Amino acid sequence: VGEGQYGRLGQGNSDDLYVPTIISAFQGYVVTQLVTSCGSDGHSMALTETGEVFSWGDGDFGKLGHGNKDYFKHQFKTMFSQASVIFFFLLQLACGFRHSAVVTADGKLLTFGSGESGRLGQRSTSNKMLPERVAALEGYHVGQVSCGLNHTLVLSLDGMFVWAFGDGDYGKLGTGSSTAKYYPQVVVPTLEGLFIEDIAVGCEHVLTLSSTGDVYAWGCNSEGQVTNMHCCKTVHFDKLMLAFIVCQKESKSRVLFSVLF
């Protein structure tokens, strides 16, 4: 439902839709995960129970992972060739403003799309038209990735490491500075020794949820997204157990929490 320009609704056309409409191209598949960008010209990805990935919408900068940067994508298209699907069974997807990322079942991180400000973690600003492994994380088992406007956050499967890369404005990388980083950097020592269960990235800010129920926030605070800029700030929810956290990916961001009593 919503604006259909650039094929972002996956209906094979650019028509706007005013009521929720089934995406018929998914008939015969069981979709287990769905992610979409907020902003840009709109792109989305879906993961099926058999590990296949579909992407659609605006393909600028190669962020659909189709091997090109076609600006107008009406048709559904698998992001990986059949051989790649077999080689990389996928676990999790993420869409940024102009880039995308996926985590494989064996803990590898692949990124694609715009490389501006180092948001792909590939040690360069080059755009990637196809998913490419982030070599700097070789030897680690990645468990989760989240993409913002022009930066990326990564969590290890064991919850002991959080990495960030890309644009550093507002201190949103959590490295203690506002300098862009072109490959994964460990977030400042404030998180050392903590078990991190979930990460969420907004347009210009970040949240992480620890196993103790503490939420660490940093980045842009223009709308009260965080309580302290350029460093990690703890927000504790007494007598509440948080299941996960979500950041709205727009400039005037809100923070959502799922609570378990």
Residue 92 lies in a domain: yes
pLDDT digits (tens, 9 = 90+) for 92-139: 999 999 999 999 999 999 999 999 999 999 999 999 999 999 999 999
The tally of domains found in the chain comes to 1
User: What is the average pLDDT across 10-36?
Assistant: 91
Report the amino acid identity of residue 122: Q
Query: DSSP state, 107?
Result: S
Mean pLDDT of the chain: 83
Q: What is the pLDDT of residue 77?
A: 62
Q: At 164, list the tokens.
A: 């960030």
What CATH number corresponds to the domain at position 84?
2.130.10.30
Is 254 inside a domain boundary? no
Q: Answer yes or no: is 42 within a domain.
A: yes
Q: Over pLDDT 70: what percentage of the chain?
A: 79
Which pLDDT belongs to residue 50? 83
Residue 50 lies in a domain: yes
Task: Kindly state whether residue 124 falls inside one of the protein's structural domains.
Answer: yes
**Nearest Cα to Cα of residue 31 among 43, 40, 22, 20:** 22
Beta bridge partners of 245: 257
For the cut 60, the answer to whether the pLDDT of residue 225 exceeds it is: yes
Rounded CA gap, 172 and 40, in Å? 20
- Among 71-75, 201-205, 230-234, top mean pLDDT goes to 201-205
Range of the domain at 116: 5-194
The answer as to whether 174 is a domain residue is yes
Residue 109 bridge partners (DSSP)? 103
Asked whether residue 59 is assigned to any structural domain, the reply reads yes
From CA 94, how far away is CA 45, in angstroms rounded?
Answer: 8
Does residue 36 belong to any structural domain of this protein? Answer: yes
